[in-house]
Each structure stands twice: as C-alpha cells, then as structure tokens.
Amino acid sequence: MRRSWWILSTLAQSPTGSSERSATRTHSVRGVASGPRASGGLMSPRRWRPCIGSWHDSPSGAWCARYPMTTGRRRVAQSVGVLFVGETTAQALGFLLTAYLARVLGPAGFGVWIFATAVITYLGMVVESGADTWGMREISKSVSRVRETLDAVIGFRLVVAAVAATLLVIAVQAFVATPDRRLALTFGLLSLVAMTLQSHWVLRSLDANVPVAAASAMQRIAVMLLAVALVRVPSDAPYMTLWQGLAEILAALALLAVVTARAGAPFRHFRAPLVRRVAMESWPIGVSRLLRGATYTITVAMLARFWPDAVVGEYGVAYRIPMALLAISTIFGGAVAPAVARACATSRAEAGIVAGATLRLLVVLMLPLAVGGAVLAIPVIRLVFSARYLSAVTLYQLLLVTVVLASLSDMLRRVLHFSHHERDDLRCVTVAVCVGAVLSLGLIPAFGSRGAVTVAVVVELVLFTLEAVALRRAGIPLAIVVPLARPVIAALAMGAAILPLRGVPLVVSVPVGAAVYLGALTLLGDRTISELHLLDVPVRPADVAESGAP
C-alpha cells in the first residue's frame, strides 16, 4: 500500500513541480478515498471541493489553510496546458522541419521521405496496437497497477514489433523498386523500436505531463538539428528516417527512465498471462487504429504507384499543414484522455458530461484554425513551402475540412474505447475505410491528388456520422449539434472578416481574425472555457480499488 501511494505522490504531481503542490495533489486523491460520499473510489467533479480535496460537508477543512489548492478549472488548464504547450512546440518544430525538407529535397526527394514516413507511421500503429489505451484504462481503475501494466504493454509490443519488422524487411526487398525508398524504409525500423519502448501514456494517465512535454520537444529539436546539419541535397532524403529513429529512441528511453525511477525497474515481476490479456482486450482498438490510418497510407501508396514523385510531393505539401492541425487535436485529446477514462469508469452520464465539455472545447480550438487556414491558403502556402507549391492550394483547402471532422470523430472514438465499446468503433472504422478503398481504386488512378482529397473528405464524413450513431446506441448522452452552433457562427464571422485581407501580410490578417473570433464568441455568450472544471476528474486511488470497489 505504501508503494502505491509513493508512486502516486511522485507521478501524479502538479505541472509546477513544487513540493507544496505535490503534497496538495496527494491529499486531493486521499480525500477521494476518505470522503463520506465516495463511490467506487471516484467523485463527481462538480461536487469536488478543490480548496481542500474533499466533499463540501467533509470536516477536513484544516487542509484548506495548510495546502491551498487551485480551482478545478485552473488545475485542468495547468495540466492540459503543460502538455499542450510542449507538444505544440514539438509539432511546430516538426512543421518547420517539413518546410525545410520540402525546400532542400525538392518534390522528388520530398516524395521519397513522405512515402517512407507514411509506411513507418502505419507500422508504428501496428506496434502500438491499442495497448496504450488499454493501459490507461487499467491505471484509471487503480494507480497501483502502473508497474504491471507497463511491463505487460512493453512485452506485448516487443512481440508485435518483431513481426512487423520482419514483414517490413520482406516487403522492402520484394515490392519496393527504387533504392532510395528501400533505404529510407530500412532505417525506419528504428522508429518501431522507439514505439515499443514508449511509456508516455503512463505519465499522462497520472497527470504527470511535464516529462512528456519536455521529451517530445527535445526529440523534435534533435531531429531538426540533425536535419539542418546533415540533410542538404536531394540525395540525403533516404537518411532522414535514420535521424528520426535515433531521436525517437533517445526520447523513449528518457521517459522510460522517469517511470522506472519512480515505479521500479521493469520486468521484475513479469506476468505472461497479463500480456495475453493485453492482446485479447486491445486488439479491437489496435485494428481500428490500423484501419483509421489506412486511408492516408493507401492514398500515398496508390499515388506513388500511378503517379510520379512530384505528384506525391504535392499531395504531401497539401497534407502537411492539415496534419499539423490534426496533431493539435490529437495533443488535446491525449491531454484530456485520462479525465475521459476516469469519467467512463464512473458512469455513462458522467462520460457524457466530460465528453461533451471536451468536444465543445475541441471545436472552439479547431474551427478558427481550419476556417482561417482555408481563407488565407495562398499566402500560407507561399510563406511555408514557397511559390513552387501553389498548385496544392485547392487540395490544402479541402483537406482542412477533414481536419475538423477527424478531430470530432477521434474524440468520439476515445469515449467508445474507454467505455468498453471498442468493437462498435471497429465496425464504424471498417465501413468508412472500405468506402475509402473503393473510391481510391476509381478516383486516384484517374485524377491523382484531387481524387485522393475527395476520398479523404468522404471517408471523414462517413466515419463521423457512424461514430455519433454508435455513441448514442451505447447509451452515452452527448449533445453534438446545438452546443457547437456558437463556435461555428463565430468562425464564419471570422472568415468573412479576413476574406478582404488575403492580400495583406499574415501578421495583420491573423490577429484581426483572432480578435473577431474571440469577440464573436463573447457576444454569443459561449461558456466553453468556464466549463473547464468539468474535466477535473481525480485519479482513482489504489487503496479503494484494491479493497474491492468497482
């Protein structure tokens, strides 16, 4: 028992890292266990008294003076903000890296890198196989399961990575024609090793987001420095995956060292049956992720098969900015995933409340980026990738539509996963990907990158519709249309305001658009930010879970 609380007190500390707030965080979780109305080790975030870490009628008011706590809204903002800032910084560096590579490698060399990263990213999802979601779900039930859960996940991923690496080597020798592509894919094996060792989901499960954010940013900085120093001409394109893989391995080892220092050395009490359980319970999540990423991978592979590398590079340029925006939504989703998991472990009503607040906040964040990016497409493409890629403007504008739809559908999928409805999500993704595969066979060989964009838009529309229906059938109450009306109106007002400013510098048009959007939200009375406290779902304590609570 002492070991469980020691893990909790060291891992689930506030982002500031101060000793006072670390102690406060621990008392907050103890209050969950000892509160007179605690149910199953969890508490409703709307009844939680943030200043003392207990219920409103708890006699432990002395804690308030000794351990002053922030409000639930501020605590959520700190926890999510630390991870969001770190990961956004990492994505910004990755975006700069992409722009640099597009310029120095040219369309053909850039196409080689795009092809290799698409395949490696897909195989990374094979190695991941939904085990991280399974692990977060286990830790949400009891924090004492950190060590055994991490051991089981790494053991499972080692087996999957060995199979994936073998298949990649065989496929490279049998089907990849050009030497540059073969070499780039071979170096990509290092990224699979890094995925096997990833433990960031453990720290995020316990709201210890500082190491995660720092490791992510340092990894991107290392890749950027290596690229600037060693990638100068198109012939250097195959070696880019080597530098990426090395940086990813170092970042994974650093995070694993953080977890090991606090939770003990790995594999000291390794349990093979638990590894089999990971495989049995996480495979629907893993398969749905594989299918989810199949659309982009199939699209790039078919473009590479029927069209020259320059067309692949054009599509890659059009996809880079939307992919960066989608990464922002992924960062946000990962930051709030522990709260969603804890809410889903409580009740369907609680899951609906937390998921609704998350969805509204996500829309407020993503809509202005998508609308503003579409209106200012020409100056953005010219600034980031140079005038050589202006032919990708229309593709880029259409792909921004998929960003918003994908952000919403991925959030709905998280709720289904944490609510043990992963098979429903698998059915939805299967239908959407099958629709995309059929359309790809007919459109991409004939229309190239424009056909690929059409496929992406249709797939996201189908998937979002199916996921919303599945969530309703699962009995999770979640309003989607009405709460999102205000952000949509504000985003449209912003787009209309910056439409005449397309010819002026971005340093003028972007602030004007932001001011119009925020002003419109204020006038419409949007309450998204004021409802942040709904995401303040506490960590489930070890002693309650171990005593037999559900």
Strand partners, 48: 55
Return all residues near 332 (Cβ < 8 A) that are at least 6 apart.
80, 84, 361, 362, 365
Q: Is 92 contained in some domain?
A: yes
- Residues 135, 176 within the same domain: yes
Percent share of the chain, pLDDT over 90: 8
More confident position, 264 or 194: 194
Q: Is 526 contained in some domain?
A: no
Distances (CA, A) of 140 to 41, 213, 348, 466: 10, 21, 15, 27
Q: Is 507 contained in some domain?
A: no
**Identity of the highest mean pLDDT range in 18-22, 377-381, 542-546:** 377-381
- Residues 201, 237 within the same domain: yes
226 φ/ψ angles, rounded to the nearest 5 degrees: -65, -40
Compute the distance between CA of residue 334 and CA of residue 328 in angstroms, rounded to an integer: 10
Per the prediction, the chain carries an average pLDDT of: 77
- Residues 467, 324 within the same domain: yes
Compute the distance between CA of residue 531 and CA of residue 529 in angstroms, rounded to an integer: 5
- Residues 93, 140 within the same domain: yes
Low-confidence winner among 109-118, 315-324, 371-380, 404-413 (lowest mean pLDDT): 315-324
- CA 284, 328, 339, 462 torsion: positive or negative? negative
Q: What is the pLDDT of residue 297?
A: 74
Q: Are residues 212 and 204 in contact, defined by beta-carbon separation less than 8 angstroms?
A: yes
Q: Is 41 contained in some domain?
A: no
- Compute the average pLDDT of residues 38-44: 36
Q: Are residues 68 and 23 in contact, defined by beta-carbon separation less than 8 angstroms?
A: no
Q: What is the pLDDT of residue 350?
A: 83
Q: What is the pLDDT of residue 537?
A: 66
Q: How confident is the model over 516-533, as pLDDT tens digits?
A: 998 988 888 877 776 666
State which of 270, 294, 321 marks the end of a domain.
270
Q: How confident is the model over 135-150, as pLDDT tens digits?
A: 888 887 767 778 888 8
Whether the full predicted model's pTM is greater than 0.75, yes or no, is no
Compute the distance between CA of residue 518 and CA of residue 214 in angstroms, rounded to an integer: 30
- CA 345, 485, 393, 441 torsion: positive or negative? positive
Q: Is the pLDDT of residue 295 over 90?
A: no
Which contiguous run of DSSP H or E holds residue 55? Answer: strand 54-55
Q: How confident is the model over 419-476, as pLDDT tens digits?
A: 888 889 999 999 999 998 899 888 888 888 888 889 889 999 999 999 999 988 888 8
- Residues 354, 299 within the same domain: yes
Q: Of how many residues is the chain composed?
A: 550
Question: pLDDT class for 543, splitting at 50, 70, 90?
Answer: very low
Q: Is 372 contained in some domain?
A: yes
Q: Is 247 contained in some domain?
A: yes
Compute the distance between CA of residue 348 and CA of residue 122 in angstroms, rounded to an integer: 32
- Compute the average pLDDT of residues 333-358: 82
Compute the distance between CA of residue 389 and CA of residue 319 in angstroms, rounded to an integer: 12
Question: If you ran DSSP here, which 8-state letter would residue 48 be given?
Answer: E
Say how many domains are in the chain: 2
Compute the distance between CA of residue 385 and CA of residue 472 in angstroms, rounded to an integer: 42
- Compute the average pLDDT of residues 373-400: 82
Q: Are residues 295 and 444 in contact, defined by beta-carbon separation less than 8 angstroms?
A: no
Q: How confident is the model over 100-146, as pLDDT tens digits?
A: 888 888 888 888 888 888 888 878 888 887 888 888 888 877 677 78
Question: pLDDT class for 5, splitting at 50, 70, 90?
Answer: very low
State which of 437, 456, 477 marks the end of a domain.
477
Compute the distance between CA of residue 415 and CA of residue 425 in angstroms, rounded to an integer: 10
Question: pLDDT class for 398, splitting at 50, 70, 90?
Answer: confident
- Residues 265, 291 within the same domain: no
Q: Is 142 contained in some domain?
A: yes
- Residues 361, 213 within the same domain: no
More confident position, 512 or 386: 512
Compute the distance between CA of residue 468 and CA of residue 410 in angstroms, rounded to an integer: 11
Residue 137's CB is within 10 A of a number of other CB atoms, namely 24
State which of 445, 477, 509 marks the end of a domain.
477
Compute the distance between CA of residue 450 and CA of residue 429 in angstroms, rounded to an integer: 23
Q: Are residues 475 and 348 in contact, defined by beta-carbon separation less than 8 angstroms?
A: yes
More confident position, 532 or 492: 492
Question: pLDDT class for 73, splitting at 50, 70, 90?
Answer: low
- Residues 202, 303 within the same domain: no
Compute the distance between CA of residue 5 and CA of residue 134 in angstroms, rounded to an integer: 22
Q: Quick one: how far is CA 354 from the chain centroid?
A: 17
Q: Is the pLDDT of residue 192 over 70?
A: yes
- Residues 251, 295 within the same domain: no
Q: Is 46 contained in some domain?
A: no
Q: Are residues 82 and 209 in contact, defined by beta-carbon separation less than 8 angstroms?
A: yes
- Residues 235, 133 within the same domain: yes
Q: What is the pLDDT of residue 515?
A: 92
Which contiguous run of DSSP H or E holds residue 54? Answer: strand 54-55
- Residues 259, 293 within the same domain: no
Q: How confident is the model over 214-265, as pLDDT tens digits?
A: 888 888 899 989 988 888 888 888 889 899 999 999 999 998 888 887 776 6
Q: Locate all alpha helices (DSSP H) within 270-347, ordered by sequence.
A: 272-306, 309-344
- Residues 108, 236 within the same domain: yes
**49 SS3 class:** strand
Q: What is the pLDDT of residue 427?
A: 93
What is the domain range of residue 196?
1-20+63-270
Question: pLDDT class for 267, splitting at 50, 70, 90?
Answer: low
Q: What is the pLDDT of residue 56?
A: 35
Low-confidence winner among 186-195, 235-244, 379-388 (lowest mean pLDDT): 379-388
Among 47, 52, 62, 46, residue whose Cα is nearest residue 29: 52
Q: Is the pLDDT of residue 65 over 50?
A: no
Return all residues near 345 (Cβ < 8 A) that are at least 6 apart.
42, 137, 140, 141, 418, 540
Q: What is the pLDDT of residue 29?
A: 37
